[in-house]
Structure 1
Amino acid sequence: MEAVLKNLSSTVELLAVAAHSSAVKQWDRHTVSRAFGWARYCEHVFSRFHSNSAIRRVMEQQLQLTNQSLQDVIPGYSKVCFPDLPRLQHLLLLGLLNNPELPISIMKMLFGTRNPVDNTQGQYQDVTGLCSHIIQCKSACKVLSPVTDLSAAGAEVQGAMLVERLGALLSQGSDTRPAEHFLGCVLQGCEGAGQHFCLVIAAALLTTKNSAAQTAPQEFLLDWLQNKHSVLQGLCSALPATLLIDLAKEHNKFRDAYCDVLKKWASDMEYSISEGEWVQTSTIPTVSFQKLTAHFMALFEACPSLRVNTEKELNALKISDGDFDVRGLSVWGDLLSALNE
């Protein structure tokens, strides 16, 4: 842990140099690539330890010490806090671009075109064309944002564009973070228009696969959805049942994730004596017991092979609740009864 804290402190100092020091006059292509390599290292450290409260406290204390020492020697220094760690590459880039001492050669490199044949520099990833790449992502996000066209046809066009853009990002190497960042930007750009975003995602997953270049983006999109539980739940709630069934029939991975969401919705239900029905307690958006049952029925009708194993699992959950056949005692028992009526 001592080495991690030392690297964290050194990287924050590096960001300060990049933003405020004339030392960047001496920076070359390799130095810039190393700097971004250390920024990525700290982003990885954040993803690894952000949920560990003890380690987080130690890292926050180290950041406070480093920030204090830098504020004492650098006028106008902006401190780096723990929540800033996931975007250190972004902060590094802003610091460099705002530093008037940045050599024109480095500026040209950042706005240049990456050579697809050689996109690495030894131990560190080449950052040639980094700004151009960001501009392309921002442009694509702008085009994909739901400005006026909320029709199904508009979503189909944007879905195809999403697949194409993801394919281009994934073809650049084994690092999937640029594609993840791009999807995050699209999601943020669709804030307040969640249903449209869901329609675009569905259209992308249902785009006809003519080649491996289209299969890879769809597989990546499915993996991304599985890791974004709130987005997946929102998608399953917002999309029409017919569209969800089309996705389930097209992608086994989505079918299984969809089934898991339905079981999650059921587990979040409590029986309301006043209403005489199972109701949601924590899931957002809320789903009624009747809608939950309808989702399961449609899924089982479209994917009969899924029904046997799922009902076995539901029955095991019912048994763990006491195996009572009295309504209102187990959501799993009442769900099985509704499915078998």
Structure 2
Amino acid sequence: MEALLELVEQLPALLAGARSALVRDWDSLTLDRALEWARYFQHLHDRFRTRPRLREVLGRRLRRAQLSPSLGFPHLGRCPQLLGLALLENRALPPTACRCLLRSLLQPSGAEAGPEPHSLALLARRKAASRLLALPSSPPLSPADMEPQLQAEAQLLLGRLREEGQEAESAGEAAGRPRWFSAVLEQLPTPRVFEVVAAALLGQGNGAERAGGGGLAGNSLDGNRASATGEECVAGPLLSWLVGNQERFSAFCLFLPGSLLASLAGHYSQLSRPYLDLLAGCGSHLLYDPLQGRWVKSCPDKAVLSWEELRERFTCLYQGSAVLRGQTQAALKLLKAHDGDFQVCGLSVWTDLLTEVEECLRKDYLPLT
């Protein structure tokens, strides 16, 4: 066992070497040897992933072999990916070794030819797709042009979370928020990370609906349990990251359009109540101006949503599912009651919002409860 632990200690050195100028001296034989070591580390991961005590021992020895604890036991399973990515990004790799690496990526050995999630071929496709999607365009990309890249980033995030959840489940551990999760999201620009998280949540929510609906098989008890488990492993960390920080959640809700937030609130009850509370706080900063005959911001520094924006967002919530519509209507009626339950316009922002939203939807023949 000690010999095995000493071998595991060599992983940080292998990855550091692949990122350094030392690869200038690598030939095809050296490259093949490095890839063989990466596959060996992956084999160790697959062999010990269901044995918690050995996982902990290997992870502890791996952390001890590096200056910063960035590598752990799960990285053993992705070692071919990590090594291949480091070499692809290292311009010092000689042309001969580079061609050998590309051949191994595009024409993997028989052991990697199948649909194995950690294969180097999959890494090459993802890396190529990422580079192509990131190419600048002229004129600047429109929101519609950005959609493929946004979907690709969201799917990569979902895939990583599913892998973490499956590993935790196979090892008999509770699926919590991965340690890498917050650090990865915080590296993205603030507006962009909100779009990626929203796209991932919508993709996961739609996938859960497809898995749980349609036919007797889709409504089976086992199918529902599997769907709920998968959604918890993937959507749970995303939702916790959002609602766990009030400032971040407020920025998320104020950045995204009302229609998208209504879809998210309809899929995830964990978002609907905080979102309604946020809208209630925004409405409390509106003041009725009798000279203009409309609601205006009483304090521009605190009132982030105008009357028109607030009305549009509540309308989107009303147009959601029956459950979301009922929850929104109940929230508005409660706010109206706490504000004096006035029936005359201009006295309570909640009376006017409730009246205008329901009147607007009646014109569109939307049944109200």
- Structure 2 length as normaliser, TM-score? 0.50
Q: Distance in 2 between matches of 1:266 and 1:144?
A: 42
Provide Cα deviations, 1:36-92, integer angstroms capped at 9, x if missing partner: xxxxxxxxxxxxxxxxxxxxxxxxxxxxxxxxxxxxxxxxxxxxxxxxxxxxxxxxx
1:323 partner SS: coil
Structure 2 counterpart of 1:198, from 194, 200, 203: 194
2:319 partner SS: helix
- In the alignment, what sits opposite 1:311? 329
Q: Could you tell me how far 1:302 is from its partner in structure 2?
A: 1.9
- In the alignment, what sits opposite 1:132? 71
Q: Read off the aligned partner of 2:186 and give its amino acid letter.
A: Q
Percent of aligned pairs with the same amino acid: 22
Structure 2 counterpart of 1:118, from 51, 56, 74: 51
* Cα pair 1:270 1:280 within 8 Å, conserved: yes
Structure 1 counterpart of 2:286, from 265, 270, 278: 270
- In the alignment, what sits opposite 1:41? none
- Confirm whether residue 340 of structure 1 aligns to residue 358 of structure 2: yes
Q: Read off the aligned partner of 1:298 and give its amino acid letter.
A: C
Q: Distance in 1 between matches of 2:310 and 2:298?
A: 11
* Cα pair 1:278 1:288 within 8 Å, conserved: yes
Provide Cα deviations, 1:201-243, integer angstroms capped at 9, x if missing partner: 1221122346647523024323432323333332222223333
Number of corresponding residues? 236
Q: 1:172 to 1:104 in 2, by over 3 A?
A: same
Q: Could you tell me how far 1:156 is from its partner in structure 2?
A: 0.6
- In the alignment, what sits opposite 1:182? 180
* Cα pair 1:166 1:217 within 8 Å, conserved: yes
Q: Distance in 1 between matches of 2:340 and 2:312?
A: 25
> What does residue range 235-250 of structure 1 map to in structure 2 within 5 Å?
235-250=252-267
Provide Cα deviations, 1:264-296, integer angstroms capped at 9, x if missing partner: 4324x2316487524275888922221111111
* Cα pair 1:270 1:278 within 8 Å, conserved: yes
Q: Distance in 2 between matches of 1:168 and 1:237?
A: 31
Q: Read off the aligned partner of 1:222 and give its amino acid letter.
A: L
Q: 1:129 to 1:157 in 2, by over 3 A?
A: farther
Question: Which structure's CA Rg is the greater one?
Answer: 2
> What does residue range 158-169 of structure 1 map to in structure 2 within 5 Å?
158-169=153-164
Q: Could you tell me how far 1:163 is from its partner in structure 2?
A: 0.6
1:245 partner SS: helix
- Confirm whether residue 296 of structure 1 aligns to residue 314 of structure 2: yes
Q: Could you tell me how far 1:160 is from its partner in structure 2?
A: 0.7
* Cα pair 2:243 2:249 within 8 Å, conserved: yes
Q: 1:206 to 1:270 in 2, by over 3 A?
A: closer
* Cα pair 2:8 2:58 within 8 Å, conserved: no
* Cα pair 1:315 1:336 within 8 Å, conserved: yes
- In the alignment, what sits opposite 1:31? none
**Which stretch of structure 1 is more off in the superposition, 291-300 or 169-178?**
169-178
Q: Read off the aligned partner of 2:287 and give its amino acid letter.
A: Y
Structure 1 counterpart of 2:148, from 153, 156, 165: 153
Q: 1:178 to 1:148 in 2, by over 3 A?
A: farther
- In the alignment, what sits opposite 1:43? none
Q: Could you tell me how far 1:297 is from its partner in structure 2?
A: 0.8
Instruction: Report the RMSD for the aligned CA atoms in angstroms.
Output: 4.4
Q: 1:292 to 1:110 in 2, by over 3 A?
A: same
* Cα pair 1:163 1:204 within 8 Å, conserved: yes
- Confirm whether residue 258 of structure 1 aligns to residue 275 of structure 2: yes
Q: Distance in 1 between matches of 2:308 and 2:260?
A: 19
* Cα pair 1:265 1:280 within 8 Å, conserved: no
Q: Distance in 1 between matches of 2:164 and 2:201?
A: 17
Q: Distance in 1 between matches of 2:252 and 2:329?
A: 24
Q: 1:128 to 1:206 in 2, by over 3 A?
A: farther
Q: Distance in 2 between matches of 1:249 and 1:270?
A: 27
* Cα pair 1:234 1:285 within 8 Å, conserved: no
- Structure 1 length as normaliser, TM-score? 0.54
1:127 partner SS: helix
